[in-house]
Amino acid sequence: MSRRLLQVATAILSLIPIATGIITMTGVDDPLYAALDLPRSPLLDSNLRFFGGVWLGLGLAMLYLVPSIERQTGLFQALWGRRVPRRHRPGLVVAFVGLPPVPFIGFTALEIIGAPLFVFWQKQVERSHAFKG
């Protein structure tokens, strides 16, 4: 469980919210929603842009902690831990609305399975660097 591999994995994963956050900041013109023929509602457009900005900020925060990942336990856990209250969401979505598109099933698996594994991995890296320190 190397520090370098954790840094690379975190940097790569940070690109997902950075890219999708930028795209979502296009509001109702987001290509993901194009097929849905969404209404040109200022409220909907504003909310999509807002959440796109939040998502972008999450990705930038993930990228920020990469160089000192072994010392950024609190931020690392907060970024991954923010998914904890949402763990019930996938089941509710499927029950009430249906299955999301395939890429979102993968993102959901990353939230449910990956988050605890990444937090555990970072903790191991923190411990190994504290021991060497």
DSSP 6-70: HHHHHHHHHHHHHHHHHHHTTGGG-GGGGGGT----HHHHHHHHHHHHHHHHHHHHHHHHGGGGG
Q: Is the pLDDT of residue 15 over 70?
A: yes
Q: Is the pLDDT of residue 9 over 70?
A: yes
| pLDDT value of residue 108 | 78
Give kind and range of the element (H or E) at residue 67. none
What residues does each domain of the chain span? 3-132
DSSP label at residue 49: H
| pLDDT value of residue 3 | 94
- Residues 21, 59 contacting (CB under 8 angstroms): yes
Q: pTM, whole model, 2 decimals? A: 0.81
- Residues 24, 48 contacting (CB under 8 angstroms): yes
pLDDT in tens, 23-73: 999 999 998 887 888 888 999 999 999 999 999 999 999 999 999 999 999
| pLDDT value of residue 1 | 67
- Residues 83, 111 contacting (CB under 8 angstroms): yes
- Residues 126, 73 contacting (CB under 8 angstroms): yes
User: What is d(CA 44, CA 38) in angstroms, rounded to the nearest whole number?
Assistant: 9
pLDDT in tens, 63-116: 999 999 999 999 999 998 754 455 556 667 778 888 877 777 787 777 778 888
| pLDDT value of residue 49 | 95
